Structure 1
Amino acid sequence: MDTVKTEFVVLDERFARCNGDEWMRRLHTGCRWTEGPVYFPAGRYLVFSDIPNDRTMRWDETTGHVGVFRQPSGYANGHTRDRAGRLVSCEQGRRRITRTEHDGTVTVLAERYRGHRLNSPNDVVERSDGSIWFTDPSYGIDSDYEGYRAESEIGACHVYRVDPTTGRTHIAADDFERPNGLAFSVDETRLYVADTQQSPSHIRVFDLADDGTLTGGEIFGTCDSGAFDGLRVDTAGRVWAAAHDGLHCFASDGTRIGKLKVPEICSNLTFGGPRRNELFITASSSVYSLRVNINGAGY
């Protein structure tokens, strides 16, 4: 395991107290494109995707060992952990959302909308009411690199919600070019969604009603380095976004207040550890971590 000097860039005084370890650890390298980090506190391990190699990996916190969790993985991309501690995955290759049960069996949560196959689910989060929200761009069907080349049966890229009672899949937002990372605000009254393909790439914010209805959708923040990918929110309501030069941090009013520089292109992030103050970052061929003085919100 090697280390990289940590560089927090303060752009606004509100970011001045956001810091952490002096050195960032590189937990693993040698992948083709890492994505979808999710931490399981009960087992003290991190699951992440190596998409083009069609495998999901597992890093063990107690030993530092990295091994294959699942291969083939259906070209899995984003993951989350539900309130019951189960793994929920976006399988780009199989064009579906799945849940790995405690006994290891796999349950399909979503794979079609009105009879048509999804494009290639990308990132996923669970709301506290049990609803599953995911984005469905076309990256997994655009080529054979991280999925299987195919024509879109839906003809567009949407944000979806899986109803926790009926299990039905509904379109939550239908005006995106390439929806990607998504995250709820701390109180779950807002939903942030990154649109990677826009120029410039940006994050939009929606007001979220108790019944799952979205309104608004204004631009929350724009990217000044490549494109936005995965998103997470901390307990102070700050939005953290993966970008080409590292992680960008936005205050809840949409001001970019700082950056955490990373030596590779960042794809995603998650807060882990028993107190959610261990920051895990997937970036190009590697996975990084550092202890920070902030805490991630929710799951």
Structure 2
Amino acid sequence: MSPFGTLEGTGFEVLEPEFSGCLLHCERVERLWTGARWCEGPAWFAAHRTLVWSDIPNDRMLRLDELNGSVSLFRQPAQHSNGNTVDRDGRLITCEHLTRRVVRTEHNGEQTVLADRWQGRRLNSPNDVVVHSDGAVWFTDPSYGILSHYEGRRSDSEIGACNVYRIDPASGAVDLVADDFVKPNGLAFSPDESILYVADTGASHDPDGPRHIRQLRVSGDGRRLEASSVFAECTNGLFDGFRVDHEGRLWASAADGVHAYAPDGRLLGKIRLPEVVANVCFGGTKRNRLFMCATSSLYAVYLNTTG
């Protein structure tokens, strides 16, 4: 275990030599803010150097100004928002549990509903979202937001399953792309977009359920998913949200911090945190700062790689 870390319970665990090359050995994990109930969905806005993320149970979104380190309220109520991302035009895309929809915040502040139904039936509770280079929005739809009033509103599923969907950038059609997940959760593309990684957190409500990330081959036209296999099994808790760096390494949330995986699925090392991690994203002016949403707090560390 590395001795680095300004907070008790933080540091780096090197399991493979490659992980050491991802670290800046003068760098330490920082806790930037605390005071949430469940931090999720970090999204980086490069134009104004801010990070936006969700505090789901408190029904609010928060904003970090990297220039001065201040944290302020971004949106409340926030419809128990969960996952967020930024599209190719710099607009915020958000998964909302309470309204059971995926929305886009336009540059003038107005919201556009991108998806709230599939085949006429309401979605469960969109969870995480990613944008393909062709402009298509891909999102997961487990049932967490309709299981209780804590992170949404208790309700029955109209679809009766938890799926992965694609929103067509031209027509706006919502297409089902994967229907064999128990609880699809975080998702991200490989750098060349030939693979879509999707976490399955079925073990959250079934001890025998999945606790892994799957890799699914993306079709040549970028519209469908093909061959699928398990990429990695979580060794501590459950995977939730994750991101992929420019060399194809996957940085995944877990119960004991962030786990870094090589493109071939080898666990390279861990960033240890004292709280359960829900999601991460790369940001900063050089996209070499990993922001980590961990239960009640926002953490960050500079790395020798970029997102």
TM-score tier (shorter)? over 0.9
1:124: which partner in 2?
A: 129
Deviations 1:258-295 (A, max 9, x none): 11111100000000012210110000000001111110
CA distance in structure 1 between the partners assigned to 2:6 and 2:18 by the alignment:
27
Pairing 1:243–2:247 present: no
2:7: which partner in 1?
A: 4
Q: Secondary structure at the match of 1:27?
A: strand
Deviations 1:12-54 (A, max 9, x none): 2221211135321111101010000011111111000000000
CA distance in structure 2 between the partners assigned to 1:126 and 1:149 by the alignment:
29
Aligned-pair CA distance for 1:200: 4.8
Q: Secondary structure at the match of 2:57?
A: helix
Q: Amino acid of the residue matched to residue 220 of structure 2?
A: D
Tell me which of 160, 166, 182 is aligned to 1:161.
166
2:269: which partner in 1?
A: 258
Pairing 1:15–2:25 present: no
Kindly indicate whether the alpha-carbon contact (under 8 Å) linking 1:266 and 1:282 is maintained by their aligned counterparts in 2.
Answer: yes
1:224: which partner in 2?
A: 235
For structure 1, the residue ranges without an aligned partner over 5 or more in a row are none
Larger proportion of strand: 1
Deviations 1:198-224 (A, max 9, x none): 445000001101322111121000001
TM-score (norm 1): 0.96
Aligned-pair CA distance for 1:67: 1.1
Kindly indicate whether the alpha-carbon contact (under 8 Å) linking 2:250 and 2:260 is maintained by their aligned counterparts in 1.
Answer: yes
1:196: which partner in 2?
A: 201
Kindly indicate whether the alpha-carbon contact (under 8 Å) linking 1:200 and 1:223 is maintained by their aligned counterparts in 2.
Answer: no
1:177: which partner in 2?
A: 182
Pairing 1:63–2:73 present: no
Q: Secondary structure at the match of 1:15?
A: helix
For structure 2, the residue ranges without an aligned partner over 5 or more in a row are 204-208
2:95: which partner in 1?
A: 90
Tell me which of 25, 29, 36 is aligned to 1:31.
36
2:293: which partner in 1?
A: 282
Q: Secondary structure at the match of 1:175?
A: coil
CA distance in structure 2 between the partners assigned to 1:139 and 1:275 by the alignment:
34
Paired residue total: 295
Kindly indicate whether the alpha-carbon contact (under 8 Å) linking 2:200 and 2:210 is maintained by their aligned counterparts in 1.
Answer: no
Pairing 1:76–2:81 present: yes
CA distance in structure 2 between the partners assigned to 1:75 and 1:203 by the alignment:
25
Q: Secondary structure at the match of 2:220?
A: coil
